Structure 1
Amino acid sequence: MSVVLACDLGGTSFRAALIDAQGATRAETVILGPMAADRLGWSEIDATEWWRILVAAAGRLAQAEPDLFGAVEAIAICGVTRTQVFIGRDGNQLRPAMTWKDSRAEAAAARLREQLSDAHPETGRINAFHPLARLAWLREEEEACFRALACVLEPKDYLNARLTGRQAGDPVSMARLMASREPAAGIDPFAALGLAPSILPAVIEPTDAVGPVLRGLPAPLDRLAGVPVFCSSSDTWVAVAGLGALREGYAYNISGTTEVLGAVGPEPVEAEGLLTVDWRGLWQIGGPSQNGADTVSWLLSLLGRNSGEAGAIGREIGALLAGRRHPQPLLFLPYLQGERVPYWNPSLRGALVGLNRQHGATDVAFAVLEGVGFLNRIVLDRAEAALGVPVGEIRFGGGAAANPVWSQIKADICGRPVVVGASKEPGLLGAAIVAWTGLGRFASLAQAQDALVRPAARFAPDPSRKAAYAALFALYRRSEAALAPISADLAALSRGAGALPGVRAPMSPVSKDRPA
């Protein structure tokens, strides 16, 4: 039996599996990801920790299934995006990677937008989470690193480079930097920052091989020398393939640490706050939020019900949802870490609205799930309006998809059927689809999806809940509008001197003189 090594570098964990050509997982392991250094808008991870975890995950699989590990025919890794690894001329990282949560480039983004003309199509997309804004921040705050910069890689491309010795990326993951590299209307964003086009790695298709595994790598990767490593793509694009939604007329919703929701169409369309990305013959409109299943983890920790054990989150939220709910619902704005799609505002903050003395943990749990569902609906409404047609169904995957109550809530709020795939890890299955397609086992990604993806459950919208959720959604939108200015003022206070009781001084930021 032959297998591929599929890996998913997620926001909080690293998953790896040996998957055969029928889509069956023969061995799987998960390792908690490195702890991000988070403070006041900063979020950094040492990229070498991802490499260490990849080696450890491969070691676990080789120990569990030594014969199967020796039969690996290819490797494909998908990974978080909106995260930059800054590489020097020696091929090593210059500084810790800036993660998807990092918002410190907000002011640099504003200055960059002023510097560039609105005539360039990318200018309006530049915000605190945009890679060009982070490069502008690097130039302002860590000039030595900026001058030593040779390449900017996505996390999965950093691992691919460690495996093969070649720096390459795909056009889906690198869409924003690629768009920034292209001059338009006499404006050259790269030149404005003093960036060389060569900081972008070679651009190849997700199903193209970056190269073979190098000899001499740490065990057990040394056993895979010569095996092709396929470029793959972002965790979103790959997981959508693993859900069977990489096709026209479908929507997808992936709920891991954060949520990603979008719709797939045949042509590029635009909508306020949404990303339009070329998905290699198809176009997606939508994008990532800052909030998702991690919001549930936050709630359980707040209630003292998150033990950290495997499966604990699912059990505990299930127990809360099984409780009795008060007739008066609560509203929850899920913006605990600011928000990306559709607001791109790092200063948004979360809120519970409507609390009374009779409300309990069950009411808050429902409000949290519904708050994320309302955010899903905002994105879906904008995407469908741009496409001009409703989607047929929403393919739902990720950890939260194991909860049938949340699946039903999403179907009721969005008014579309929600379909959960049989694979509990669509990112891993999608990576396997990329690898098997790259090997030529399937003629196309569409053919691979048809062969390997199987739906497991379908949740149709409940007509009896339509009116109640419509009323609650209207109140949600009013709450957003009313509280956004207060969120901004509260965020501003956190950057002040802070004389409130119990407030401790924040950690000192990294020096501008960080060595290159």
Structure 2
Amino acid sequence: MDVAACAWGSGAIEPGQASSIFGTAGIHQVIMDRPLLEPKLVGMTLCHGVRGRWMRMLAAMTATPNLEWFLKELGGSLTRGAGGGPKLYHRLERLVQSVPAGADGVMFHPYLFPGGERGPFVKPTARASFTGLSLNHSAKHLLRAVYEGVALATLDCYRHMPIDPQSVLLSGGGANSPLWCQIVADCLGKPVLVPEGSQFGAKGAAMNVGGAAGFYRDAQDAVRQSVRMSRRYLPATARTRLYHELYALYRRTAERQMDLWDLRARIEFPAR
């Protein structure tokens, strides 16, 4: 499976390690030495490519598409004249940094996928929302809330894992954003390490083949020879304390909305 190959390609092979992929989905995995199944009825327990290793995976339906949607539908005033590519994302990071952590109370629940959410809970009727808005807020606050909402969704998944990792290896398109990596580290309260390179699924598959062909002595040797960390982000204690307070609100807000999501789903809206 590609996520197992991505974990190996990013260097996550030992029990207690964790690997997150910030791509179309937010995929979060912990490595185990036995097949733990908690939480029940959500996520997957998979064989790792390394003998004697297992993975517990929880996956949020969307990660980077939350930012893409926001920029397309609501971010015109923030992106005007910035062009695309690195220049645009450098501007976005400056805008996010101009707003304090916590976005002055604006919170975003990143459940934008039309089919709802699958991790760390299964709810086909789940929908995204901004909460905490007032006339004092601007588009910059909403932008920061999107970055933080995806990071809080990551924390939500790890809070439901059977193992609490010491650090997280982060890959995928979202890992190209230094600020997003730092926000994830602050939310988790754990170091976030970004491996060098890209296409970690292909890299992990190649490492597996290399081991079978005798190019590496074992999985550990493959990681030693082939995996390097390009960046490391350490959590800031004060921000972690704030984000953990916000997480309690984030989780409680989602739980309180579940009945409302079901109620909304029963309403017959006119067709387009």
Answer whether TM exceeds 0.5 for this pair.
yes
1:256 matched residue in structure 2: 23
1:426 is aligned to 2:200:
yes
TM-score, length-normalised on structure 2?
Answer: 0.87
Residue number among 51, 66, 72 corresponding to 1:295 in the alignment: 66
Contact residue 18 and residue 29 of structure 2 kept, 8 A: yes
1:416 matched residue in structure 2: 190
The code of the aligned residue for 1:478 comes to R
Contact residue 262 and residue 379 of structure 1 kept, 8 A: no
Aligned pairs (5 A) from 1:355-394: 355-383=133-161, 386-387=162-163, 390-394=164-168
The code of the aligned residue for 1:323 comes to S
2:112 matched residue in structure 1: 336
Deviations 1:471-506 (A, max 9, x none): 21111111101112112222333xx3x33xxx51xx
Contact residue 103 and residue 141 of structure 2 kept, 8 A: no
1:404 is aligned to 2:178:
yes
| Inter-CA distance 367–419: structure 2 relative to 1 (3 Å threshold) | same
2:47 matched residue in structure 1: 278
Aligned pairs (5 A) from 1:130-279: 234-272=1-39, 273-279=42-48
Residue number among 98, 107, 117 corresponding to 1:323 in the alignment: 98
Deviations 1:361-420 (A, max 9, x none): 22112211211222211221221xx23xx3221011111111111111111111111111
Contact residue 274 and residue 379 of structure 1 kept, 8 A: no
Structure-1 separation of matches of 2:256 and 2:103: 24
- Which secondary structure does the structure 1 equivalent of 2:31 belong to? strand
- Which secondary structure does the structure 1 equivalent of 2:38 belong to? coil
- Which secondary structure does the structure 2 equivalent of 1:328 belong to? helix
Unaligned runs of 5+ in 1: 1-233, 505-516
Aligned pairs (5 A) from 1:17-166: none
Unaligned runs of 5+ in 2: none
1:473 is aligned to 2:242:
no
The code of the aligned residue for 1:290 comes to M
Contact residue 286 and residue 341 of structure 1 kept, 8 A: no
Structure-2 separation of matches of 1:327 and 1:373: 13
Greater RCO (Cα-Cα under 8 Å, separation 6 or more): 2
The code of the aligned residue for 1:238 comes to A
Structure number with the higher helix fraction is 2
Structure-2 separation of matches of 1:276 and 1:366: 33
Structure-2 separation of matches of 1:434 and 1:309: 37
Aligned residues: 261
Structure-1 separation of matches of 2:53 and 2:238: 36
Identity of aligned residues (%): 27
Structure-2 separation of matches of 1:271 and 1:412: 25
Structure-2 separation of matches of 1:424 and 1:363: 31
Structure-2 separation of matches of 1:243 and 1:415: 20
Structure-2 separation of matches of 1:468 and 1:443: 45
Structure label with greater radius of gyration: 1
Contact residue 188 and residue 240 of structure 2 kept, 8 A: no
| Inter-CA distance 489–256: structure 2 relative to 1 (3 Å threshold) | same
- Which secondary structure does the structure 2 equivalent of 1:260 belong to? strand
Question: What is the Cα-based RMSD across aligned positions, in Å?
Answer: 2.3
Structure-2 separation of matches of 1:292 and 1:463: 25
